[in-house]
């Protein structure tokens, strides 16, 4: 097993490549997807925060939010606020935060709130799977290294 860490963006690029209708090619959809992933990263890391262990404040706040294009910036802002406040160490040096804010600004014209919500949840869920796979790979790599010693 290799020690090379995968990038969350690689997972997104695979999803985008298999997208036959161009849904994930739209910047507004990408923004929702990456902010969803960032939200999941903050929730995952908040639970293990050195400042406040098992913190669920952001998760609780997010559960009361309407996921639509107008709220994406607010969700990003709150996720960033919690990342800073709880001194979180997000996987791959906060890659998902960078992906979220590096997505070009666009208008969501022609995109329903349900499509934005769908993309947000897809990013949220994909990051959850990505994170679990990476943790499993880290454990496997550690076990292999220990056996070799």
Tens digits of residue pLDDT in 87-141:
998 877 789 999 998 888 888 888 999 999 999 999 999 999 999 888 777 776 6
DSSP 21: S
Q: 63: buried, middle or exposed (CB in 10 Å: 19+, 13-18, 0-12)?
A: exposed
pLDDT at 141: 65
Q: Which two tokens stand for residue 109?
A: 């014209």
Mapping DSSP to helix (H, G, I), strand (E, B) and coil, where does residue 51 land?
coil
pLDDT at 1: 39
17-21, 36-40, 76-80, 134-138: least confidently modelled range: 134-138
1-5, 36-40, 120-124, 144-148: least confidently modelled range: 1-5
- Kindly indicate the confidence band of residue 10, based on its pLDDT and cuts at 50, 70 and 90: very high
Q: How far apart are CA 138 and CA 101, in angstroms?
A: 28
* 62-93 confidence digits (pLDDT tens): 999 999 999 999 999 999 999 999 999 887 77
How much helix, strand and coil, in percent to the nearest 5, is found in the chain? 70, 0, 30
Are the C-beta atoms of 67 and 40 separated by less than 8 Å?
A: no
Are the C-beta atoms of 95 and 10 separated by less than 8 Å?
A: no
Q: Which two tokens stand for residue 115?
A: 């499509």
Cβ density class 16-51: b for 16+ within 10 Å, e for less: beeeeeebbebebbbbbbbbbbbbbbbbbbbeebee
Cα Rg of the chain, angstroms: 16
């Amino acid at each position: 097993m290799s020690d090379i860490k995968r990038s969350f963006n690689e997972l997104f690029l695979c999803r985008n490549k298999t997208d036959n209708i161009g849904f994930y090619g739209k910047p507004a959809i990408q923004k929702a997807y990456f902010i969803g992933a960032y939200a999941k990263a903050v929730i995952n890391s908040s639970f293990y925060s050195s400042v406040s262990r098992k913190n669920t404040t952001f998760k609780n706040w997010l559960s009361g939010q309407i996921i639509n294009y107008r709220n994406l910036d607010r969700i990003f802002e709150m996720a960033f606020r919690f990342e800073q406040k709880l001194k979180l160490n997000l996987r791959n040096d906060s890659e998902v935060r960078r992906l979220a804010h590096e997505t070009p600004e666009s208008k969501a014209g022609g995109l329903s709130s349900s499509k934005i919500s769908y993309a947000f949840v897809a990013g949220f869920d994909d990051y959850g799977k990505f994170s679990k796979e990476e943790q499993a790979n880290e454990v496997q790599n550690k076990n292999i290294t220990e056996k070799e010693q």
